[in-house]
């Protein structure tokens, strides 16, 4: 029997590759590099079922690709668990505990990372916290705290790191497609993540004479502990009609970050990349 002319084809769900699942072997893309991952731990939503989070995937992937990795996080235990995953694979990593809202913590974090690795030539700024939806009920204190974490913290990191960075290094900011469209309904979160684009371009300008690149990744809907926590309050988040029929894995975000850290993007700076299956553009 012929198919009805107006029948829609069954949705194609993009399958997970070895890279998507974090099972692909390293290829030496960061051999000899010294990378600081700020926000390399992960929060716990359901310890029994939590997938790997963005910061942990980035840290493990960088080590797998040959880098010596400083895993920094406000939660020492979370960072330690990331380091344990790395060393279990034979990689090199160590923990730094720091709160990016404190200037003294950031200065110490950069110093510890530089001393332990003998230099820094890569940094990923994977920090962020959420807020209330809308504007009603958002206090000035909450607004300021979210900006302190999401914007001022990355600024502190760049200010302290730039003078210690090796020529030709790379800095990657982690924003969100919430910076591109008002999908999260959290004005404070969306606007703070949008501000990172302006900060990133200024860091790229400051670093250009020394070949220090700065770029930004916009993750879309990602299946992480943070994503599941957000979805618990908004069930529609996990059911969003994404173009590829599923949410991203943290590993898919990590590979985009890897590209910006590696010499494969050596002539790219002050640019942004949405890793969202086209959600922000279609």
Grade residue 108 by pLDDT with cuts at 50, 70 and 90: very high
Length of the chain equals 282
Query: What are the structure tokens assigned to 4, written together?
Result: 């009805």
Q: Do the domain assignments include residue 203?
A: yes
Residue 164 belongs to a domain: yes
- What per-residue confidence (pLDDT) applies to 274? 98
Task: Provide the b/e sequence for 268-282 (b: ≥16 CB within 10 Å).
Answer: ebbebbbbbbebbee
Is residue 95 in a domain?
A: yes
- Is pLDDT above 60 for 56? yes
Domain that holds residue 62: 34-275
The answer to the question of residue 28 being in a domain is no
Specify which residues 217 forms β-bridges with.
174, 273
Here the tokens at position 8 are 């829609």
What is the model's pLDDT at position 238?
54
Per-residue pLDDT band for 240 (boundaries 50, 70, 90) equals low
Q: Say if 111 falls within a structural domain.
A: yes
**93, 176, 276, 44 alpha-carbon torsion, rounded to 10°:** 50
CATH classification at residue 244: 3.40.50.720
**What's the pLDDT band for 263 if we cut at 50, 70, 90?**
very high
In this prediction, residues 122-150 reach a mean pLDDT of 91
- Kindly state whether residue 11 falls inside one of the protein's structural domains: no
Residue 18 maps to a domain: no
The whole-number pLDDT of residue 36 equals: 98
In a domain, 27, yes or no: no
Locate 154 and state its tokens: 């990355």
- 4-18, 92-106, 120-134: which has the minimum mean pLDDT? 4-18
* pLDDT at 4 (0 to 100): 58
Is pLDDT at 10 greater than 90 in this prediction? Answer: no
Q: How many domains does the chain have?
A: 1
Q: What is the distance between the alpha carbons of residues 214 and 231, in angstroms, rounded to a whole number?
A: 31
C-alpha 128/C-alpha 184 separation (Å) is: 14
Q: What percent of the chain has pLDDT over 70?
A: 93
């Amino acid at each position: 029997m012929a198919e009805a002319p107006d029948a829609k084809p069954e949705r194609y769900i993009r399958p997970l590759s070895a890279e998507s699942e974090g099972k692909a072997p390293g290829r030496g893309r960061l051999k000899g590099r010294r990378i600081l991952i700020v926000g390399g731990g992960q929060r716990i939503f359901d310890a029994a079922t939590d997938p790997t989070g963005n910061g942990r995937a980035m840290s493990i992937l960088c080590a797998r690709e040959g880098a010596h990795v400083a895993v920094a996080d406000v939660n020492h235990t979370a960072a330690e668990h990331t380091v344990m995953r790395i060393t279990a694979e034979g990689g090199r990593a160590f923990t730094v505990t720091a709160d990016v809202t404190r200037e003294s913590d950031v200065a110490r974090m950069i110093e510890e990372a530089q001393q332990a690795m003998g230099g820094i030539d890569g940094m990923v700024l994977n920090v962020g916290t959420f807020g209330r939806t809308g504007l009603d009920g958002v206090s000035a204190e909450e607004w300021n705290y979210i900006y302190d974490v999401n914007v001022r913290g990355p600024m502190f990191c760049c200010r302290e790191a730039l003078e210690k960075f090796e020529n030709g290094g790379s800095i990657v900011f982690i924003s969100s497609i919430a910076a591109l469209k008002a999908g999260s309904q959290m004005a404070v979160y969306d606007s703070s993540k949008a501000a990172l684009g302006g900060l990133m371009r200024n860091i790229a300008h400051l670093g250009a004479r020394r070949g220090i690149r700065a770029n930004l990744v916009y993750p879309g809907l990602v299946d992480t502990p943070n994503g599941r926590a957000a979805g618990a309050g908004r069930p529609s988040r996990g059911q969003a009609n994404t173009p590829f029929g599923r949410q991203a894995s943290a590993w898919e975000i990590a590979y985009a970050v890897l590209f910006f850290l590696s010499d494969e993007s050596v002539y790219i700076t002050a640019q942004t990349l949405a890793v969202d299956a086209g959600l922000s553009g279609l």
